[in-house]
Amino acid sequence: MVHKFQNQERMFAYVRKIKKLEKSIANLKFFDSFGPLQYVEVIGIDRNVGFFEVYDKKNYYIIDKYANW
């Protein structure tokens, strides 16, 4: 979404954040639930990451090829 205010255009993304980020024994980051949807100014977005769900544990593991954990 693009918003124009005082002759300046700003771009916003509608994203869903996560509630609590944890680290596994194997040093992988994961979370167990999503937070609310909210608008974030695009300059605040560093990159897009993927995730996969582990059904038996109800966790979502983060896939980030640029991570330096």
Q: Output the pTM of the full model.
A: 0.54
Q: Between 55 and 13, whose confidence is greater?
A: 13
| pLDDT value of position 24 | 81
Distances (CA, A) of 43 to 8, 39, 51, 65, 68: 14, 12, 22, 21, 21
Indicate whether 47 pLDDT > 80.
Answer: no
Cα–Cα distance measured from residue 69 to residue 58, given in angstroms and rounded to the nearest whole number: 23
Per-residue pLDDT band for 3 (boundaries 50, 70, 90) equals confident
